[in-house]
Structure 1
Amino acid sequence: MISQYQESLLLPARTFQTGPMTTTYEDVLEQMDSGIMLFDEEGVLTFVNKQMYAILGLSRHSLLGCTMIHLLSNIQMNRFKKKQVLRGYREMMKKGKPSYEFVDEYGRYWKVTLCSGEQMKGCYLFTFKEISDYKLIEQTAYQNDSLVMLGKLSASIAHEIRNPLTAIRGFIQLLHPHLHQLGKEEYAKIILAEIDRANDIIHEFLMSSKPSVPQVAMISVSGLLKEVVLLTESEALMKGCEIQLQPFQEDMIISGDIKQMKQVVLNMIRNAMEAITEKVDDAMGRIELGARREGAEVRIFISDNGKGMDICTLDRLFNPFFTTKENGTGLGLSVSDRIIKNHGGCISVSSRLNEGTRFVISLPLIQ
């Protein structure tokens, strides 16, 4: 039966005559927030509700009576939608999957389900439903679970590593006079310095996984960005990048922890540098930094002309432990996101492959 239907879907369009569906049922389906497509046993589209033809960007007249091949050849439907319709057809009709999920060109999540069998009397009902809100809840729950696990893991690591390091440090200090007599005092200094460095790394990891409560003070946005540029411009030049600080129309003041805010902007600039160094072309890297007022908020933007990101990477960008870097920890952006949220703001990001990425930090201004 399935194979017969698959063949019939690919038949040319024919003149459509209205079936036995009653006006009452049609009115109910028209009011649904999901898109509905009903194909009969011959593969002809017999019903489509207004939500569905809005999703496809086609008129009801151009849809009714058509087959799948006629739908895919419709010049009014863009290539992206055709590709998703064809992929969904393959997944559900060819592979027998009951549903199929995809992300549209606007970043919205959709789920397509297929209802068929005896209860449909040979017909095939396709339902298109937007699930963006469900995906957001799912991702938020995943992030919260990951951050709880990260906090516990960090505390455990700090405890387990610091204890032996403290013991080693104590014994090296006891051996220091003997090493001095042997003329090997430098060995003791090197060992102590490396132990202190290891302790600093552990402390940074612990603080990054569990940011402290902000030490609130008034922060000049222009002063913050100018200081960050001073800290990073020499490193940027070494990596073939140029940092351009856009002029400020006015000085804007925010309330927050200066160290944490600096950590967020520095992290994004360093990410931009790495994205630029991974470009395939030899064009000069450019990082633009600036801020502007929008109502009661300031928008701080960091944009680059690096390698960019695809949709799948963007979806997971702020997840703890997710990284595309060979030696990355996957903590930088998840921690930055938490810091900004603790300051009453949010981070948004847009990106295109081989074109670049733009981060925007939105924070409330002090009036």
Structure 2
Amino acid sequence: MISQYQESLLLPGRTYQSGPVDTTYEDVLENIDSGIMLFDEEGVISFVNKQMYGMLELTRHSLVGCTISHLLFNVRLSRFKKKQVLQSYKEMVYKGKSNYEFLDEYGRYWKVTLCCGEQMKGCYLFTVKEISDYKLIEQTAYQNDSLAMLGKLSASIAHEIRNPLTAIRGFIQLLHPHLQQLGKQEYGKIILAEIDRANDIIHEFLTSSKPSVPQVGMIPVSALLKEVVLLTESEALMKGCQINLHPFQEGDMMISGDVKQMKQVVLNMIRNAMEAVADRVDGLMGKIEVGAHKEGSEVRMFISDNGKGMDIRTLDRLFNPFFTTKENGTGLGLSVSDRIIKNHGGCISVSSRVNEGTHFVISLPLIH
């Protein structure tokens, strides 16, 4: 039985059969976990199993008897799926690749495999299978290899970076009496404090494969965010953007953790936001919103920007060690930040749209 829509797509003068798939095997093909689509020697779909037409969100009758051109003109096939069908066809039929992987609109990974040649007698057999679990295992293995490499490099890097910082610290201490005479001793204190913080950051970066135990203390969220915003305001103005600290409605919210590590996380995210808004091409003023609110038993600190945003592929790898979109980036900032927050019993979530901006949320347990 052929549907009216399918009938309009059939080629004149041809007799269509159910296809070369033996009925004894149809039940097996219907129940495997891969989608199957078979094109005959004339490029017409002769068999499709329920997994495949379920993936395409079409019916079997609207597919059997169609060519690839008819499939791409099917009004019921979504634009994204048309794009992936066409790309798979180009990569495998025209370029001769045996398989092709892609990411769908829901963030799932799929693998398309093509079987053709003499053994198929001119037919083309496409199979589609979800490989999200395999990708997760692959990414975990890559992350473990990256962390192992980081451990080997850490000793030499620490020596090269810390020596200049130690020299700078020593000279600033020697200049302290002169700064005191000029009434500028506060500058010396700020420089020493920032050098110490830089040393702490280097330590965290280089030991990210062996996360340190947080030095737990009570941290007022409002004081933490105010201090970080104060530290970054002048840098933001130089980069042509503005930082807005939202007023705190719930009073003084407290979290438990290492104040240096918490400061490092928020600073890293604000500086990432500054770079994102600096890359805008429309000339509009860059804005960064910082604040916190209570959500049940958690404190949720947020850092938002109206920068260039990120696509789904970038978001998917954002917290992987060594992954970076910056020309001179190390790819360690967000991976270290994610590890710090997890060590404190919290999590980091992120949402972003290209050319619209990015929104980070740091969720941590609230201390009463």
TM-score calculated relative to the size of structure 2: 0.78
Match of residue 209 from structure 1: 206
Match of residue 305 from structure 1: 306
Match of residue 58 from structure 1: 58
- Against the structure 1 CA distance between its residues 51 and 297, is the aligned structure 2 distance closer, same or farther, given a 3 Å change threshold? farther
- Against the structure 1 CA distance between its residues 244 and 58, is the aligned structure 2 distance closer, same or farther, given a 3 Å change threshold? farther
| Cα distance, 1:138 vs structure 2 | 1.5
Match of residue 158 from structure 2: 158
Q: Structure 2 matches for 1:316-355, cutoff 5 A?
A: 316-355=317-356
Q: Structure 2 matches for 1:1-367, cutoff 5 A?
A: 13-14=10-11, 16-19=16-19, 21=21, 25-159=25-159, 204-210=201-207, 211-248=211-248, 250=250, 252-366=253-367
| Cα distance, 1:293 vs structure 2 | 4.6
1:113-133 Cα shifts (integer Å, max 9, x gaps): 112234434432211112222
Report the Cα distance in structure 2 between the residues aligned to 1:222 and 1:234, rounded to whole angstroms: 20
1:279-323 Cα shifts (integer Å, max 9, x gaps): 101112121223445555444332211112234433433233333
Any stretches of 5+ residues in structure 1 without a counterpart?
Answer: 1-11, 177-193
Contact 2:204–2:336, Cα closer than 8 Å, also in 1: no
Contact 1:154–1:206, Cα closer than 8 Å, also in 2: no
RMSD: 3.4
Contact 1:305–1:356, Cα closer than 8 Å, also in 2: yes
Paired residue secondary structure (2:318) = coil
Greater CA drift, 84-93 or 248-257: 248-257
Report the Cα distance in structure 1 between the residues aligned to 2:224 and 2:75, rounded to whole angstroms: 52
1:161-219 Cα shifts (integer Å, max 9, x gaps): 7689999x99x9xxx9xxxxxxxxxxxxxxxxx9xx99986664233221532112233
Which residue identity is paired with 1:357? T
Which residue identity is paired with 2:204? M
| Cα distance, 1:103 vs structure 2 | 1.4
Contact 1:303–1:357, Cα closer than 8 Å, also in 2: yes
Report the Cα distance in structure 2 between the residues aligned to 1:330 and 1:65, rounded to whole angstroms: 50
Which residue identity is paired with 1:19? G
Which residue identity is paired with 1:360? V
1:136-176 Cα shifts (integer Å, max 9, x gaps): 22222212221222132121233467689999x99x9xxx9
Report the Cα distance in structure 1 between the residues aligned to 2:166 and 2:334, rounded to whole angstroms: 32
Which residue identity is paired with 2:41? E
Contact 1:309–1:353, Cα closer than 8 Å, also in 2: yes
Report the Cα distance in structure 2 between the residues aligned to 1:164 and 1:324, rounded to whole angstroms: 28
Report the Cα distance in structure 2 between the residues aligned to 1:262 and 1:59, rounded to whole angstroms: 55
Any stretches of 5+ residues in structure 2 without a counterpart?
Answer: 1-8, 175-190
Contact 1:320–1:334, Cα closer than 8 Å, also in 2: yes
Report the Cα distance in structure 2 between the residues aligned to 1:137 and 1:346, rounded to whole angstroms: 21
Report the Cα distance in structure 1 between the residues aligned to 2:250 and 2:51, rounded to whole angstroms: 46
Which residue identity is paired with 1:117? G
Report the Cα distance in structure 2 between the residues aligned to 1:270 and 1:281, rounded to whole angstroms: 20
| Cα distance, 1:269 vs structure 2 | 0.8
1:96-123 Cα shifts (integer Å, max 9, x gaps): 1110011122222111111223443443
Which residue identity is paired with 2:91? E
Report the Cα distance in structure 2 between the residues aligned to 1:215 and 1:256, rounded to whole angstroms: 7
Which residue identity is paired with 1:115? C
Report the Cα distance in structure 1 between the residues aligned to 2:110 and 2:328, rounded to whole angstroms: 34
Greater CA drift, 54-63 or 246-255: 246-255
- Against the structure 1 CA distance between its residues 13 and 233, is the aligned structure 2 distance closer, same or farther, given a 3 Å change threshold? farther
- Against the structure 1 CA distance between its residues 362 and 127, is the aligned structure 2 distance closer, same or farther, given a 3 Å change threshold? farther
- Against the structure 1 CA distance between its residues 74 and 141, is the aligned structure 2 distance closer, same or farther, given a 3 Å change threshold? same
Aligned length: 334
TM-score calculated relative to the size of structure 1: 0.78
Greater CA drift, 140-149 or 154-163: 154-163
Contact 1:243–1:286, Cα closer than 8 Å, also in 2: yes
Identity between Structure 1 and Structure 2 (%): 77
